[in-house]
């Protein structure tokens, strides 16, 4: 066969095997922020790593940086690919994140482009700012947050996060103390997907609507989370906790508590949306007018919910638990629920506005004054009249909505309604107990389970902590979640503070006063209730008596001398020696011992800081102390 010349020979293409680009792990090794790439290949900043990363790449951190604080000097980090920023290896066993991205109010932390995605693991983001949308993060793509905390960020919409036709998935962590001048103090999700699981959305503020979350046309799911203490602060707007309008929202196994609105819907405002709230607590929320717990202008289904302790505060108000508007196509269905002990000017737990909607209630414990009973288009079966003379909750005043022994809500439910909206069974109550503990399921979010009382703390001791302070210590109580320490000068009026350990320092006390102290162990209100008080102990606050023997002399001076020139934070620091409270052991502290040499604490002549203006001790005492100090310093040298 004759071969054609090369330049006229037809080209033939052969297919190659499929090949993939390998992902790259970029290791950040400096907290500095550079506006451009650094020529030194040994230095990699977070900004450079983000700009160079491609699809599938992972950015991690050199452990030597921990704890690492990245202050963004040149504005937001732009995400144009599918990348992961993973700081989970630097996270402590106790769950503390050691990587902080501080936007320093210069702009956002991240801006995620359409089609891009960002996964963040164990990262804290704070101090974000935008004059538009998304204070900390703005996304048109996909955002996944695992054990991340967003705080102290602000914008017009979405103080923490703004999602524009994107998806946001939050697992663990929090969005806290963010604010918006319009809607969505914590999160604003616009026509997208929002999933929140095992997270806290708390203490956020919206000047307009949706203090915690504004889900506008989004498919929203909230599982095993807390939405608490969020606020809507303009009386023309609404929804302190959650504003769900358009599309749907599911809330499962969650707590919506302590949220407030100056208008309608303290906890949740549903408007033209399908809302399903299951096995959840709506409590302690408030609004000025209607819907202290829930304001419903949509299609609301409740199963196994407790709606209690909510209130409306205005003179013309109603529906402290639920305000339900019956417009065309709107409804409220409730099954196995408690709607009781809410407070309004009208005295109604549930208030309905006449319209063309409908509703159905089955196994509901509520007040007979509820408008449910007079609505022609509302059917309620197995209505249980709430009796204020009978037990219901363990301690509503303390925020404990578990069922009391002999609660009127025990064994009144129907197990046919123990399912989530996806059809799966409700196996556990909100506290994690088996959902059925007795003859049948109880009403509300909690099953009744007997609790045990914690042992009262023992071994309470008081000692000087220097200056105007006392150290309180006691024996740890097994199964306690913490302690409340109470102190008083008259055993009538008591101050109190929380302590997470079995020792704490009381500050701001008055010299020469005798203080009485007692301690209480705190239970989880699931298996354990709070203990009784410990025995009360007392001590005269006398920081000059370092060793606590009631006598100011060589013993106190010896302790002081062994801590000479130490400061707070040193390994050999002794808080008792900081008599003048300046955080340093030195001549100022020695002066008070000198001024009170050989005095007793019950003599009534003790000189306390800052009363000492001139040293009153004799010269020979000063000489003696100086001589002892010189010997100690010589030994140290």
Name the domain boundary from 517, 540, 563.
540
Enter the DSSP assignment of 419: B
> Where do the DSSP E strands lie in 489-605?
495-499, 503-506, 514-522, 528-529, 537-540
Question: What pLDDT, on a 0 to 100 scale, did the predictor assign at position 241?
Answer: 98
Confidence of residue 428 (pLDDT cuts 50, 70, 90): very high
The reply to whether 535 falls in a domain is yes
- DSSP assignment of 166-228, as one string? -EEEEEEEEEES-EESSS-SSEEEESSEEEEES-EEES-EESSS-SSEEEES-EEEEES-EEE
Confidence of residue 94 (pLDDT cuts 50, 70, 90): confident
Angle separating helix axes 619-636 and 554-561, nearest 10 degrees = 40
The reply to whether 545 falls in a domain is no
The reply to whether 16 falls in a domain is no
Question: What pLDDT, on a 0 to 100 scale, did the predictor assign at position 374?
Answer: 46
Is 50 exceeded by the pLDDT of residue 274? yes
Q: Are 495 and 571 part of one and the same domain?
A: no
Q: Are 413 and 485 part of one and the same domain?
A: no
Question: What pLDDT, on a 0 to 100 scale, did the predictor assign at position 28?
Answer: 96
The reply to whether 312 falls in a domain is yes
Q: Are 43 and 123 part of one and the same domain?
A: yes
Q: What percent of the chain has pLDDT over 90?
A: 62
The per-residue b/e assignment along 337-355, b for 16 or more CB within 10 angstroms, e otherwise, is bbbbbbbbeeebbbbbbee
| Contact criterion met (CB below 8 Å) for 424 and 434 | no
Is 90 exceeded by the pLDDT of residue 234? yes
Q: Which residues contact 194 (CB under 8 A, 6 or more apart)?
A: 163, 167, 168, 187, 213, 215, 218, 219, 220, 221
Whose tokens are 């663990």? That residue is 172
The reply to whether 443 falls in a domain is yes
Question: What pLDDT, on a 0 to 100 scale, did the predictor assign at position 21?
Answer: 53
Question: What pLDDT, on a 0 to 100 scale, did the predictor assign at position 320?
Answer: 87
Name the domain boundary from 159, 192, 207.
207
Mean pLDDT of all residues in 446-458: 92
> How many angstroms separate the CA atoms of 90 and 117, rounded?
23
Phi and psi for 556 in degrees, rounded to 5?
A: -70, -40
| Contact criterion met (CB below 8 Å) for 248 and 277 | no
Q: Are 28 and 47 part of one and the same domain?
A: yes
> How many angstroms separate the CA atoms of 371 and 5, rounded?
96
> How many angstroms separate the CA atoms of 213 and 138, rounded?
15
Is 50 exceeded by the pLDDT of residue 59? yes
pLDDT tens for each residue of 285-308:
999 988 999 999 999 999 999 999
Is 90 exceeded by the pLDDT of residue 372? no
The reply to whether 14 falls in a domain is no
Q: Are 443 and 457 part of one and the same domain?
A: no
Name the domain boundary from 540, 570, 588.
540
Q: Are 513 and 471 part of one and the same domain?
A: yes
The reply to whether 8 falls in a domain is no
> How many angstroms separate the CA atoms of 566 and 93, rounded?
31
> How many angstroms separate the CA atoms of 225 and 174, rounded?
10
Q: Are 605 and 484 part of one and the same domain?
A: no
Q: 379 or 88: whose pLDDT is higher?
A: 88
Confidence of residue 7 (pLDDT cuts 50, 70, 90): very low
Cβ atoms within 10 A of the Cβ of 333, count?
17
| Contact criterion met (CB below 8 Å) for 82 and 108 | no
Q: 355 or 539: whose pLDDT is higher?
A: 539
Q: 547 or 186: whose pLDDT is higher?
A: 186
Q: Are 174 and 41 part of one and the same domain?
A: yes
The reply to whether 232 falls in a domain is no
Mean pLDDT of all residues in 399-414: 94
Positive or negative, the CA dihedral 34, 40, 41, 42 is negative
Average pLDDT, the chain: 87
Cβ atoms within 10 A of the Cβ of 410, count?
22
Domain count, the chain: 4
Mean pLDDT of all residues in 233-245: 95
Question: What pLDDT, on a 0 to 100 scale, did the predictor assign at position 290?
Answer: 87
3-class secondary structure, 506: strand
- 308-317, 366-375, 449-458, 561-570, range with greatest mean pLDDT: 449-458
Tokens matching residue 549? 């023997």
Question: What pLDDT, on a 0 to 100 scale, did the predictor assign at position 610?
Answer: 54
Angle separating helix axes 587-595 and 619-636, nearest 10 degrees = 140
Distance of CA 118 to the CA centre of its chain: 24
> How many angstroms separate the CA atoms of 480 and 140, rounded?
45
Q: Are 511 and 564 part of one and the same domain?
A: no
Q: Are 425 and 457 part of one and the same domain?
A: no
> How many angstroms separate the CA atoms of 294 and 537, rounded?
47
Is 90 exceeded by the pLDDT of residue 228? yes
| Contact criterion met (CB below 8 Å) for 291 and 312 | yes
Q: Are 487 and 440 part of one and the same domain?
A: no
Domain enclosing residue 473, as ranges: 453-540
Is 90 exceeded by the pLDDT of residue 267? yes
**Quick one: which of 97, 115, 116 has its CA closest to 57?**
116
Q: Are 311 and 418 part of one and the same domain?
A: yes
> How many angstroms separate the CA atoms of 118 and 50, rounded?
10
Query: Looking at residue 518, which CATH number applies to its domain?
Result: 2.60.40.10
The CA-CA-CA angle for residues 256, 279, 158, to 5°, reads 35
Is 70 exceeded by the pLDDT of residue 356? no
């Amino acid at each position: 066969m004759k071969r054609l010349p090369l330049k006229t020979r037809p080209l033939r293409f052969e297919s190659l095997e499929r090949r993939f680009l390998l992902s790259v792990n970029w290791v950040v090794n400096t907290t500095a922020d550079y506006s451009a790439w650094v020529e030194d290949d040994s230095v990699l900043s977070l900004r450079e790593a983000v700009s160079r990363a491609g699809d599938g790449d992972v950015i991690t951190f050199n452990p030597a940086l921990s704890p690492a604080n990245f202050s963004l000097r040149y504005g937001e980090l732009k995400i144009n690919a599918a990348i992961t920023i993973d700081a989970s290896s630097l996270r402590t066993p106790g769950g503390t994140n050691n990587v902080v991205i501080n936007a320093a109010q210069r702009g956002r932390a991240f801006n995620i482009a359409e089609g891009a995605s960002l996964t963040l693991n164990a990262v804290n983001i704070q101090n974000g700012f935008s004059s538009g949308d998304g204070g900390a993060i703005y996304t048109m793509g996909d955002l996944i947050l695992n054990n991340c905390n967003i705080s102290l960020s602000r914008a017009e919409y979405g103080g923490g996060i703004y999602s524009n036709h994107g998806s946001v998935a939050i697992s663990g962590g929090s969005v806290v103390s963010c604010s918006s001048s319009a809607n969505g103090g914590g999160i604003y999700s616009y026509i997208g997907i929002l999933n929140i699981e095992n997270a806290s959305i708390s203490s956020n503020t919206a000047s307009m609507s949706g203090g915690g979350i504004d889900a506008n046309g989004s498919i929203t799911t909230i599982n095993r989370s807390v939405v608490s203490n969020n606020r809507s602060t303009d009386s023309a707007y609404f929804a302190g906790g959650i504003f769900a309008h358009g599309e749907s929202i599911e809330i499962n196994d969650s707590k919506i508590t302590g949220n407030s609105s100056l208008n309608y819907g303290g906890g949740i405002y549903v408007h033209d949306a399908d809302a399903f709230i299951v096995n959840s607590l709506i409590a302690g929320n408030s609004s000025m007018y209607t819907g202290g717990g829930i304001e419903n202008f949509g299609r609301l289904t409740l199963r196994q919910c407790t709606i209690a302790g909510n209130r409306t505060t205005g003179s013309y108000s109603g529906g402290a638990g639920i305000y339900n508007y019956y417009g065309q196509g709107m409804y409220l269905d409730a099954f196995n629920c408690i709607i009781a002990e809410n407070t309004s000017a009208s005295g109604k737990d549930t208030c309905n506005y006449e319209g063309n909607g409908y509703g159905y209630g089955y196994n509901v414990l509520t007040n007979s004054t509820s408008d449910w009973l007079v609505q022609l288009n509302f059917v309620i079966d197995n209505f249980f009249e709430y009796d204020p003379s009978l037990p219901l909750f363990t301690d509503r005043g303390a925020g404990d909505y578990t069922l009391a022994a002999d609660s009127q809500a025990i064994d009144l439910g129907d197990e046919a309604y123990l399912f989530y909206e996806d059809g799966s069974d409700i196996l556990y109550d909100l506290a994690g107990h088996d959902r059925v503990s007795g003859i049948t399921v109880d009403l509300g979010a909690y099953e009744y389970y007997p609790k045990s009382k914690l042992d009262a703390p023992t071994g309470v001791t008081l000692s000087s902590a220097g200056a105007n302070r006392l150290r309180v210590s006691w024996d740890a109580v097994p199964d306690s979640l913490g302690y409340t320490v109470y102190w008083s000068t008259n055993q009538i009026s008591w101050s109190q503070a929380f302590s997470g350990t079995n020792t704490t320092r009381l500050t701001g006390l008055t010299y020469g006063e005798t203080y009485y102290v007692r301690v209480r162990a705190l239970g989880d209100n699931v298996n354990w209730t709070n203990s009784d008080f410990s025995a009360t102990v007392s001590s005269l606050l006398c920081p000059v008596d370092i060793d606590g023997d009631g006598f100011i002399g060589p013993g106190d001076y010896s302790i002081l001398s062994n801590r000479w020139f130490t400061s707070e934070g040193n390994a050999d620091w002794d808080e008792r020696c900081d008599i003048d409270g300046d955080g340093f052991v030195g001549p100022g502290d020695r002066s008070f011992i000198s001024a009170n040499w050989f005095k007793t604490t019950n003599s009534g002549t003790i000189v306390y800081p800052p009363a000492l203006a001139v040293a009153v001790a004799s010269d020979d005492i000063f000489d003696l102390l100086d001589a002892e100090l010189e010997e100690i310093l010589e030994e140290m040298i």
